[in-house]
Amino acid sequence: MSQETISMSDKTTPTQSGLSAVSDVEIISFGYLHGPAPEADLTFDVRRYLSDPAAVRDTGLLDCDGRDDEVRRVVLDTWGAPETIDLTLGFVLAFPHGHRCVIAFGCAGGRHRSVALAEVAAEDLRTMEFNVTVRHLHVHLPRVIGDESTGGAR
């Protein structure tokens, strides 16, 4: 049996793709060090597979967040980030028509990777004519500097 792959690189609209479209999409960014993941239809925990741009202290990105162009560029240049966006778009396109779809992106502190991915996914979905809202749960909180592997701040 052959498997057909749908590429999201052309950013087709729901009508053009021939797939059902959801009514609304909510995208949430958050940090696991601030609490549990919010309820969502699809949650990405990017702590283990996307490197943290703030981990390199001398880059000047520590005090920035994922809404800043340089942080977004660094995150999107990380192996796995473009594929995460493509998976998000594919999931939304395949979601049942008429239902609200909630996507969550989580990283350690909720300021860099999760925010950047949420913003990029929202831009792409808006280009595809979806009604998208974005909530950044922890971007306004003080940065958390710690060891992600232990989940604790230092």
Residue 35 tokens, joined: 């609490």
Residue with the two structure tokens 């800043």: 68
Number of H helices, E strands in the chain: 4, 6
Full-model pTM: 0.80
**Higher pLDDT pick, 8 / 122:** 122
Mean pLDDT of the chain: 82
The amino acid present at 106, given as its one-letter code, is G
Whether the Cβ atoms of residue 109 and residue 42 lie closer than 8 Å to each other: no
For residue 57, is pLDDT > 80?
Answer: no
Q: Residue ranges per domain, the chain? A: 18-141
Q: Of the segments 46-50, 63-67, 95-99, 142-146, which one has the largest average pLDDT value?
A: 46-50
d(CA 24, CA 100) in angstroms, rounded, equals 5
